[in-house]
Amino acid sequence: MRENLLKQVFALFLSVSALVAFAQERTITGRVTAAEDGSAVPGANILVKGTTNGTVTDVNGNFTLEVPSGATLIVSFVGLKTTEVEVGNSSTVNVSLLPDDAQLNEVVIVGYGSIKKSELSGAVGSVKGEALQNLPIPSLDRAIQGRIAGVQVNANNGIPGGNTQVRIRGVGSVSGGNEPLYIVDGVQITAGDRSRRIISSNPLNGINSNDIESIEVLKDAAAASIYGAQAANGVIIITTKKGKQGKGKFDVNYYYGQTDIIKNQPLLNSEQWINLYEEGQRNFYQSFDVFGEGFASNLARSFTQVNYGNAAAAATYDWQNLVSRRGDIQNIDISASGGNDKNRYFISGSFNKQNAQFIATDFTRASARLNFDNTLTSKLTAETRINLSTVTQNTQGVGGFNTNNALVGAIGRLPMANPFLSNGAVNPNLTYAIGPLGNLSNPLWLAQVNPQRGVTNQVLGNFALNYAINKDILFRSSYSIEYSVIDENAFFDPRSPGGAGVNGSVQFLNTRVINWQTDQTLTYTKTFNNRHSISAVAGFSFRNQRTDGFNATGVAPASVFLNNTLVGTTANAVTSVFGQFKITGLFARVNYTLDDKYIFSATVRRDGSSRFGFGNTFGVFPAVSAAWNINKENFLKDVSFVNDLKVRASYGITGNQDLALGLGAADFPITLYGAAVGFGYGGAGGVGPTNLGNPQLRWEENRTLNFGLDFSVLNNRVAVTADYFVRTTENLLLPQILPSTSGFGSIVENVGALENSGLELGITTTNVNGQFKWITDFNITFIKNKVTRLINPGEDLPNNGLWLGRPLGQVFVARYAGVNPADGRAMWYNQAGNITYDPQANDRIFLPRGSGSALLPVQYGGVTNTFTYKGIELVAFFQWNVGQLALSNFKAASSMDFRFDTNQDQDMLRRWQKPGDITDVPRIVPGAQEVGSANSLFGGSISGQDRFWEDASYIRLKQVTLAYNLPQSVIKRLKLNSVRIYAQGINLWTSTQFTGLDPEFAANTSNIGVLPPSKSIIGGIQFGF
């Protein structure tokens, strides 16, 4: 069919050329299609060569044009190869445009439109959907980790589908939000955990990564400022696949895999634990002069043996192994796409189930996607994008020192405690649970009796109409909705610690997010005199997001088996939550390109948000940028090895309307009186002031200066993109502490400033080209962050962890000096650099280790090597993070001393035992403090000293994929279009000095009880027919 068309066109050309001389001015009609799939190309430019006479194709790719005899048409469209066609004397000219494979003409999606990469003057990063194919990672934001310069992704939690932290170009806010704005097929989504208690959820969990066409990251103000007050942390635009004209295509894809823990904390075995315990007791009794040496030893031994038995005879149970398991992952997705010249569709359904590497923790998603593109009339097209999903997560404790957390439970249990009864059943009351924390019951039992579940149902929908007002102006009317319902349900058995005090409790939490938007835009595209190319967009948008929900807790259930209902319980706590914000904006952007060489762009948006104080409801967010395609200049035209050379510069302002959520001033900048339980008294409801209004409250303002350089040489074998940026945050929201006599704790004010600056480098090289092909994609980001202004000039805010001139997340702690060889006591350095046993606040120093902070690394990046040979494809993707500091919480909690009757880190084997021992692990003492040693915060605590702060740099083989595409000859015989067999490994190899469970934990959070990421291997097969 397609071949025939080409033949026809070619034949037409031949006959036309013979008759050129006789032709006269007349009307021709024709149709422009894409050679790749035969679909119509609406909006293609058609110009009669040597004149300004031209037209644009309509939505069906048709055009009508007056041409003189002998005319040649120049047909062009973004992303397709510009083609010249001689008209001859035919009255019908159909043109089929080949794809333009030159990288420069790639189209990049930007806010409210798309742009040729060669005309881009802002900083935009992009990942194609293929790179994310079949990643067994529930949420998209995790999948882009390491793939785009300037984008840092950390997991808040390793539970499948857990929330993430995404930081584009550093951290720009202290009190407000730092997450980028997500736009999924036009639907603006505010990132963040919507679950309120039990699960850790991610609003992007509902999207099947195999539906993704591309992900674009708008990094600088020039690219992002069209989103105004929501753009300060960057914008991530996710575009899903759409149907293409042609015979219906079906894809069926299935993979299965297994997942496992990456690493265990090295803990003591029973013999070691009992011996060390006895040693601790001995040390304790010896510290009393009244006991003789021998007496103290005997006392320690008998006490230990009575409680814990004989060391040599004790069996060891590996609790970490018991709470972990070989998990599995299954995924099936089916898609159908195709259509004719009027109606195209992409529909898909998927089911993904992951049993995590920890007991009672899993993730299940079912999703359905309906993408339709319909041509209604010659001027009107409609786009429909709908994603429906349901996600179920079971988990045992989301983190924190939580008695119900399986990981905390496992690391806490004594190795001698037998988890099972003689009949093989799980033992609820552990034999050795005698200590004060003995009530941390058997985690295996808790996993059975305390189910914790969350279900997220989500609709993401966008409907848009495009109307071509005339050949230059397109009107687009777009309507979006996100509707999410998160139902959480937890049970705490009356026999378990979480339920003991209240005779058991059942919790139901329900959260609804209703987020709707409309965007109305006019787009104008025109080229004058073949030199001046203008594209402009103007429009307005409105967004209204409402979150509400309730919590209900019932206690004393009638039966422990009635664990999923409030029926039969006594109402304990019932409360509801509500939040809402609205944003409205007017925006415009003009791009002007002169001779394809000089590119200018200007954007302005005026945004109002209900979150701003009445004095500052509206803000204006402008940006300008320019670029110069130097390689198009005459002096470089003949330099054949330079394919592209462009410099870019931009400056602009974006806003952060995600104000002070952590400070309780979330949505309403006025004085509020709450009716929380805390205000009720004696059974009567009460009301109290909760929030002191700030009529001046406004957005945090980001001013980004960006310089960019793009070049590609040697037939595009080497392509480099470099960006240097300075991102300054002004009007930084900080909590101004109020005296308690005011009746309030603090008020949020726009007072501070901070700066992120950095260098981003992306290099793509085709190392070997030909049948065997090797492509390397490398990106790296160097980042610096510093606070430049706080509340009072020249005054630090140490209580908030903020120091002028220093980065956010600065670690300020006492320095550990090891152990006194004479008596085994822990030592620290004081201010003067001398030894002290009791460090104080002013003995602290800023930790230079790794020279990053707890929030930010020094540099991070990723490298992907892709090898293809015939149908075989091998992809290896490494990702790294350098210089970030992290607290090794678990190790610290299990190596402070024998304070808790819990298992201890193997580091304890290195403890000081006798005078002269040189070691960094102090003498073992049971109880809180070594006599005469630090009881200050800075010596006694885990985080107040540098002993457990570590450099969390790592490099990780994030992904390795081996795929084989069956040759066409085989496929044809099978009557299929394609068959792909693949295997994929995730996190198979890691190199790090960090001694905690994983270096990838979210920045600056306590990682106690946070489930670490897993490693997994999957194998799958994909059929296309």
List the interface residues with other proteins, window 823-882 (CB under 8 A). none
The Cα–Cα gap between 382 and 388 comes to: 20
User: Which amino acid makes up residue 651?
Assistant: Y
If binding is defined by CB under 8 A, does position 425 make contact with other proteins? no
Q: How many residues does the chain have?
A: 1025
| Residue 166: partners with Cβ closer than 8 Å, 6 or more residues away | 141, 151, 152, 153, 179, 180, 191, 236
Q: How many angstroms separate the CA atoms of 552 and 547, rounded?
A: 17
Shortest spacing between CB 281 and other proteins, in angstroms:
10
Per rule CB under 8 A, is residue 434 in the interface with other proteins? yes
Q: Is 502 among the residues that bind other proteins (CB under 8 A)? A: yes
> Which of 14, 313, 675, 714 is close enough to bind other proteins by CB under 8 A?
675
- Please, which of residues 319-378 interact with other proteins by CB under 8 A? 377
- Compute the least distance from the CB of residue 913 to other proteins, in Å: 23
Name the segment binding other proteins (CB under 8 A); options: 7-15, 222-230, 485-493, 926-934.
Answer: 926-934
Q: Which is nearer to other proteins, 205 or 569 (CB)?
A: 569
Residues 876-915 that bind other proteins (CB under 8 A): 899-900
- Please give the C-alpha separations between residue 729 and each of 122, 124, 625, 756, in angstroms, as whole numbers: 19, 20, 19, 8
What is the residue type of 1001?
F
Min dist CB 576 to other proteins, Å, is 6
What whole-number distance in Å separates Cα of residue 443 and Cα of residue 447?
Answer: 6
Among 64, 92, 305, 429, binds other proteins (CB under 8 A): 429
Task: Provide the minimum distance between the beta carbon of 387 and other proteins in the complex, in angstroms, as a whole number.
Answer: 25
Residues 161-220 that bind other proteins (CB under 8 A): none
Interface with other proteins (CB under 8 A), residue from 70, 129, 435, 622: 435
CB closer to other proteins out of 16 and 229: 229
Q: Does the protein bind other proteins through residue 668 (CB under 8 A)?
A: yes
Give the shortest CB-841-to-other proteins separation in angstroms: 10
The radius of gyration of the chain's CA atoms, rounded to the nearest angstrom, is: 32
Close Cβ partners of 306 (under 8 Å, ≥ 6 residues apart): none
How far is CA 273 from its chain centroid?
41
The dihedral sign for the CA sequence 338, 340, 341, 345: negative
Of the candidates 576, 769, 968, 991, which one interacts with other proteins according to CB under 8 A? 576
Q: In angstroms, rounded to a whole number, what is the distance separating the alpha carbons of residues 173 and 78?
A: 38
Task: Tell me the window of 256-264, 540-548, 644-652, 877-885 that interacts with other proteins (CB under 8 A).
Answer: 540-548
Which one, 497 or 1019, has the nearer CB to other proteins? 497
User: Would you say 50 or 927 has its CB closer to other proteins?
Assistant: 927
CB of 668 to other proteins, least distance (A): 5
Which of 258, 316, 448, 477 is the binder for other proteins (CB under 8 A)?
A: 477
| Lookup: tokens for 726 | 């300075």
Q: Is 397 in the site for other proteins (CB under 8 A)?
A: no
Selected binder of other proteins within 18, 315, 425, 577 (CB under 8 A): 577
State the minimum distance, in angstroms, from the CB of residue 467 to other proteins. Answer: 5
Q: Is 463 in the site for other proteins (CB under 8 A)?
A: no
- On whether the CB atoms of residues 905 and 889 are closer than 8 A, the answer is no
Query: Is-contact 345 372, C-beta < 8 A?
Result: yes
**Which tokens sit at 389?**
């999903």
Q: Which of 439, 640, 968, 991 binds other proteins (CB under 8 A)?
A: 439
> Which ranges constitute the DSSP H helices of 182-290?
221-224, 270-286
End-to-end distance of the chain based on CA atoms, in angstroms? 18
Residue 932 touching other proteins (CB under 8 A)? no
Sort 699 into a burial class: Cβ within 10 Å, 0-12 / 13-18 / 19+: buried
Rounded to a whole number of angstroms, the minimum distance from the CB of residue 470 to other proteins is: 9
Q: Which of residues 773-832 bind other proteins (CB under 8 A)?
A: 799
Cβ closest to other proteins, residue 269 vs residue 503: 503
Residue 465 makes contact with other proteins by CB under 8 A: yes
Stretch that binds other proteins, among 570-578, 751-759, 865-873, 965-973 (CB under 8 A): 570-578
Residues 6+ apart with CB under 8 A from 289: none
Q: How many other β-carbons are positioned within 10 Å of the β-carbon of residue 901?
A: 21
Q: Are 164 and 141 in contact (CB under 8 A)?
A: yes
Q: Pick the binder of other proteins from 684, 794, 833, 918 (CB under 8 A).
A: 684
In the complex with other proteins, the residue whose CB is nearer, 522 or 976, is 522
Distance CA 748, CA 731 (A): 11
Residue 779, beta-bridge partner list: 762, 862
Return the residues of window 737-756 that contact other proteins according to CB under 8 A: 737-745, 747
Q: Which of 438, 758, 985, 1013 binds other proteins (CB under 8 A)?
A: 438
Q: Classify 795 as helix, strand or coil.
A: coil
Tell which one of 197, 241, 301, 379 touches other proteins (CB under 8 A).
379
Which of left, alpha, beta for 716 (phi over 0: left; psi -120 to 50: alpha)?
A: left
What is the footprint of other proteins within residues 936-975 (CB under 8 A)? 940
- Binding residues for other proteins restricted to 604-663, rule: CB under 8 A: 608-610, 617-618
Closest separation in Å from C-beta 842 to other proteins? 14
Read off φ and ψ for residue 220, nearest 5 degrees.
Answer: -100, 175
Q: Does 497 participate in binding other proteins (rule CB under 8 A)? A: yes
**Minimum Å distance from CB 435 to other proteins?**
7
Using rule CB under 8 A, residue 935 touches other proteins: yes
- Residue 433 sits in the site that holds other proteins (CB under 8 A): yes
Nearer to other proteins, 744 or 774 (CB): 744
Q: Does 581 bind other proteins (CB under 8 A)?
A: yes
> Of 485, 484, 488, whose CA–CA distance to 453 is shortest?
488
Closest distance to other proteins from the beta carbon of 278 (Å): 15
Q: Which is nearer to other proteins, 169 or 899 (CB)?
A: 899
User: Tokens for 932?
Assistant: 């005469």
Q: What is the contact mask toward other proteins in residues 82 to 121, using x (rule: CB under 8 A)?
A: ----------------------------------------
Segment 519 to 538, residues that bind other proteins, using CB under 8 A: 520, 522
Q: Is 688 in the site for other proteins (CB under 8 A)?
A: yes
Contact predicate 736/795, CB 8 Å: no
Residue of the chain from 586, 726, 874, 988 that contacts other proteins (CB under 8 A): 586
How many residues form the binding site for other proteins (CB under 8 A)? Answer: 93
DSSP-assigned letters across all residues of 124-175: EEEEEGGGGTT---SSHHHHTTTTSTTEEEEES--STT--EEEEESS---SS
Q: State whether the Cα torsion 1007-658-739-684 is positive or negative.
A: negative
**765 vs 1006 by CB, closer to other proteins:** 1006
Nearer to other proteins, 345 or 581 (CB): 581
Q: Rank residues 98 and 434 by Cβ distance to other proteins and give the closer one.
A: 434
Torsion of CA 1016, 131, 189, 181, to 10 degrees: 110
**Contact partners, residue 64, CB within 8 Å, separation at least 6:** 27, 28, 29, 55
Burial of 511: CB neighbours in 10 Å, binned 0-12, 13-18, 19+: buried
Both tokens of 743, joined, read 């009746």
Q: Segment contacting other proteins (CB under 8 A): 434-442, 910-918, 946-954, 957-965?
A: 434-442
Q: How far is the CB of 615 from other proteins (least distance, A)?
A: 11
Q: Tell me which of 68, 622, 662, 686 binds other proteins, using CB under 8 A.
A: 686
Angle ∠(519,520,522) on CA atoms, nearest 5: 135
